[in-house]
Amino acid sequence: MWLFFVFFVPKFAFSLALLYFCRMMKKTVLFIVLLLCIGLVSLVTCSIQSKNHEGENVGFFDASGVSRGSGTTIPKRGAPRIDIPLPLKGVSEQILYRKSYIVSYNKDYKIPNWVAWHLTAEHTDGNVKRPGNAWHEDTDVPAPRATRNDFKGSGWTHGHLCPAGDNRWDAEAMYESFLLTNCCPQHANLNSGVWNEIERSCRQWAKRYGDLYIVCGPILLRQKHETIGANGIVVPEAFSR
């Protein structure tokens, strides 16, 4: 409705003024030409406004879904809602929805661009234990992709992005936290040290304040990166949370 008032009401008033002027001047031909020009400008303006809003990522998306076959996922109703940023430019990206988190996956580096999740106070505790042979391939992403063999003998550990400790409230959430699209090669000292301390702090803050929205991911500082395994999994130089 507001588009009508913004774009058409002023032009309609202007057209009436032109009509009066042209009749006074008895230039009927000029009057018709001017009206056609005003109509054309109005249509072009509305078209431009419409195109400017195409593809805008507004609103919220559920943090859970089912595979569409292409590796992306469709959000389910009733799942926690997390705001998704606009698509990355110039970077490979595939959005994957899990029960408790969302991944922006990079098929070129075979690691996430980022992982985001909503940690509530209720989800900071639970009785679900780490599954046996925990880490497993994510078949929602195209091959080549990370496998357990890529990490064996590499000297690097599986660095959780959305940690298992945030998913003890549900068996499916715990299982999905061990998908290889939810980790990066990480130095053992960082994994069991500062990174683990930050994870614990986040759970404490969620208990204290009720909930947290968390986003973390790798930082790639160099043009060329170390890789591990036959599939060439990129090793990040740093991490953010």
Catalytic residues: 160
CA angle 101, 123, 240 (to 5 degrees): 50
Picking from 138, 82, 83, the residue whose alpha carbon sits closest to that of residue 105 is: 138
Picking from 126, 86, 119, the residue whose alpha carbon sits closest to that of residue 100 is: 119
Q: What is the per-residue DSSP string for 161-194?
A: SS-GGG-TT-HHHHHHTTBGGGEEEE-HHHHHTH
- Residues 154-178 as b or e (16 or more Cβ within 10 Å = b): eebbbbbbbbbbbbbbeeebbbbbb
CA angle 47, 50, 51 (to 5 degrees): 90
Cross-strand bridge partners of residue 106: 111
CA distance 60 to 167: 22
Question: DSSP 3-state assignment of 181?
Answer: helix
CA distance 98 to 110: 18
CA distance 98 to 67: 10
Look up residue 143 and give its two tokens. Answer: 């091959």
Is residue 66 within 8 A of residue 74, CB to CB? The reply is: yes
Look up residue 7 and give its two tokens. Answer: 């774009």
